[in-house]
């Protein structure tokens, strides 16, 4: 089943121009959240909405760069659409029909850097060598894209470590409690009882090795003692 890292959403400006929105790139999200943090000082719904309008204006730098001022924004988006924009941009959900104050709705659902070590995550992703500097990385990735990139990087790193450990007869999954019974059973079959672990190099023989793209039975000689 196909999956996606995040969902895009289309919305229309008042002049019926179609805009496609997705989570903000980190470069813009930084500016967005800096403004959003000031909503904590708002005393009325009007003040809270003013903060959210300025947040939406930051989002327009990614979605519709020709909208440069609050006046431009107000000429092109009604308030329900502003709420849609900040939802897709940063996951801040406002229900205009709710009796709860706009401020409390925003703060309860809003994003924050408070519990996130962004510098560490960006440094880990930067090791992939794709971006020339951190500014380019932040222009290229949104938070969902960054976390997905790091997730697969860690999985690949762990796979490499598992293979290196298996060459030394060490089962990392078993030691960490992540042993896969199905893979272990296949290993016993493919190795004809020589190993009981799917992470052991002896499991990579014949057809199993062919599927993996390497292994015993594909030019790697070995002897049993």
The DSSP secondary structure of the chain, one letter per residue, reads ----SS--EEEE-TT--EEEE-SPBHHHHHHHHHHHGGGGG--SHHHHHHHHHHHHHHHHHHH-TT--SHHHHHHH--HHHHHHHHHHHH-----TT-SS-HHHHHHHH---STT--HHHHHHHHHTT---SSHHHHHHH-BHHHHHHHHHHHHHHHHHHHHHHHHHTT--HHHHHT---HHHHHHHHHHTTTS-S-TTSGGG-BHHHHHHHT-SBTTTB-----
Number of domains, the chain: 2
Domain end residue (candidates: 82, 109, 136): 109
Is 217 domain-assigned?
Answer: no
Q: Are residues 17 and 97 in the same domain?
A: yes
Please give the share of the chain, as a percent, with pLDDT higher than 90: 41
pLDDT grade, residue 45 (50/70/90)? Answer: very high
Is 222 domain-assigned?
Answer: no
The residue segments making up the domain with residue 189 are 118-212
pTM of the model: 0.68
pLDDT grade, residue 195 (50/70/90)? Answer: low
């Amino acid at each position: 089943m196909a999956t996606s890292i995040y969902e895009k959403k289309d919305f229309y400006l008042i002049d019926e121009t179609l805009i496609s929105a997705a989570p903000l790139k980190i470069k813009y999200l930084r500016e967005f959240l800096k403004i959003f943090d000031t909503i904590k000082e708002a005393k009325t719904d009007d003040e809270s909405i003013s903060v959210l309008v300025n947040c939406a204006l930051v989002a327009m730098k990614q979605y519709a760069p020709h909208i440069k001022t609050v006046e431009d924004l107000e000429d092109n988006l009604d308030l329900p659409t502003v709420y849609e924009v900040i939802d897709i941009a940063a996951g801040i959900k406002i229900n205009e029909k709710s009796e709860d104050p706009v401020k409390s709705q925003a703060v309860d659902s809003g994003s924050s850097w408070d519990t996130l070590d962004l510098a560490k995550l960006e440094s880990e992703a930067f090791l992939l060598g794709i971006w020339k500097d951190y500014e380019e990385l932040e222009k290229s990735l949104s938070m969902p894209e960054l976390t997905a990139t790091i997730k697969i990087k860690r999985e690949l790193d762990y796979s490499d470590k598992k293979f290196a450990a298996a060459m030394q007869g060490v089962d990392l999954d078993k030691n960490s409690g992540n042993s896969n019974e199905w893979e272990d059973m296949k290993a016993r079959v493919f190795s004809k009882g020589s190993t009981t672990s799917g992470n052991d190099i002896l499991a990579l023989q014949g057809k199993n090795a062919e599927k993996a793209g390497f292994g015993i039975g594909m030019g790697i000689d070995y002897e049993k003692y």
